[in-house]
Amino acid sequence: MKNSAAIIPVSSPECQKKSWKHELKNAFSNNRQLLEYLQIDKRAAPYEINESLDFPVRVPLSFAKRMKVGDPLDPLLLQVLANDIENQVVAGYGKDPLLEQGLSQPGLLHKYYGRVLFILSGSCAINCRYCFRRHFPYQTSADSYSNLQNNLDYVSSDTSISEVILSGGDPLLMGDQQLALLVNQLSEIPHVKQLRIHTRMPIVIPSRITEQLIELLAATRLITCLVVHTNHPNEIDDITGTQLQRLVQNGIPVLNQSVLLKDINNNSKTLALLSRRLFSYQILPYYLHLLDPVQGSAHFYESEANALVLIDSLRKSLPGFLVPRLAVERPGEKSKTILA
């Protein structure tokens, strides 16, 4: 069991000199700030900047530092810069592409057999423009503290539930003490065996991987893994990779899921490099998702046919365990649909 293993001692990394909360508080909050930092003249960019969208800009400095200065087409920048094209109404794209609203009860989604998803936060450390929950009514669905006991009771009453997934927003916006309390409460439910945390936080703010977080995840009786979200190899610098590797070295597997995005990672060279870079820090590729058709994201669309070609190319250049599964989530299905 994990709680019988000693925590591997490591010195505090350089990135933890400033707390993750400080980095979160001081994130870029509009296009102008971000473009000025990157020394990009918005008039030279081949797209229309928009500052008035309902889904605001949020980009921590630690993530912006991995962008190329002076490049308006940087693949990390394109994921987070608010673009006027998001205002276009495109057939087939809606505000609730996975029909999640109204499922189960506030703060909890029970879509698939044997596992439930807790929505612990209504926000993220970074606002990715393709986010499938960018229109989600968190004000009524993610009031996690007032609904948490109801959701724990829900899990306790259903013995078919063996896994709890922490999501949001981003669940690692919750502090370590609050997270430890929740993990302890879940571990007291006998039929819950697994804990999965879906987060982009350690990618955009690596200092979120604190000693306290590692200790609490390593100590629980629950079989625990972290699933991070990385789309491009430039997102994994040495600081980020080393922080995530600390989790692996203490018995907490780290998996990665990506979204296939036009002009960002829709080529086999980029995806192969991403898989290799992830594995150099002991992180395993998990899923490559087709874009969920959320309103405002159509300009990121890449076809299923092209995605299948990319996966075939990856199989020819990578060992099988480094090829992510190509998946799409379809409302009403019993699980994700694996395409390749």
Among the ranges given (140-144, 184-188, 224-228), the one the predictor scored with the smallest mean pLDDT: 140-144
Among the ranges given (115-119, 137-141, 151-155), the one the predictor scored with the smallest mean pLDDT: 137-141
pLDDT digits (tens, 9 = 90+) for 298-332: 999 999 999 999 999 999 999 999 999 999 999 87
Tokens (6 digits) for 174: 């919750």
147 found inside a domain: yes
Q: How confident is the model at residue 4 (pLDDT cuts 50, 70, 90)?
A: very low
**Tell me, what's the pLDDT at 59?**
97
3 found inside a domain: no
Let me know if 173 is exposed, middle or buried by CB neighbors in 10 A (0-12, 13-18, 19+). Answer: buried
93 found inside a domain: yes
**Tell me, what's the pLDDT at 101?**
74
**CA–CA distance, 286 with 265 (Å, rounded to integer):** 16
Instruction: Indicate the average pLDDT of the chain.
Output: 91
Q: What is the pTM of this model?
A: 0.92
Q: What is the 3-state secondary structure (H, E, C) of the chain?
A: CHHHCCCCCCCCCHHHHCCHHHHHHCCECCHHHHHHHCCCCHHHCCCCECCCCCCCCCECHHHHCCCCCCCCCCCCHHHHCCEHHHHCCCCCCECCCCCCCCCCECCEEEEECCEEEEECCCCCCCCCCCCCCCCCCHHHHCCHHHHHHHHHHHHHHCCCCCEEEEECCCHHHCCHHHHHHHHHHHHCCCCCCEEEEEECHHHHCHHHCCHHHHHHHHHCCCEEEEEEECCCHHHCCHHHHHHHHHHHHCCCCEEEEEECCCCCCCCHHHHHHHHHHHHHCCCEEEEEECCCCECCCHHHCCCHHHHHHHHHHHHHHCCHHHCCEEEECCCCCCCCEECC
pLDDT digits (tens, 9 = 90+) for 159-204: 999 999 999 889 999 999 999 999 999 999 999 999 999 999 999 9
Q: How confident is the model at residue 139 (pLDDT cuts 50, 70, 90)?
A: low
**CA–CA distance, 203 with 133 (Å, rounded to integer):** 19
pLDDT at residue 222 greater than cutoff 70: yes
| Residue numbers of the domain that contains 288 | 18-338
**Tell me, what's the pLDDT at 98?**
77
pLDDT digits (tens, 9 = 90+) for 9-21: 555 555 555 699 9
23 found inside a domain: yes
Q: Which CATH number covers residue 276?
A: 3.20.20.70
51 found inside a domain: yes
6 found inside a domain: no
**CA–CA distance, 310 with 38 (Å, rounded to integer):** 31
More reliable by pLDDT, 106 or 188: 188
Q: Count of domains in the chain? A: 1
pLDDT at residue 142 greater than cutoff 90: no
1 found inside a domain: no
Hey, how many other C-beta atoms are within 10 angstroms of the C-beta on 60?
22
pLDDT digits (tens, 9 = 90+) for 49-84: 877 677 889 999 999 999 999 999 999 999 999 988
CA angle at 101 for the pair 99 and 104, rounded to the nearest 5°: 105
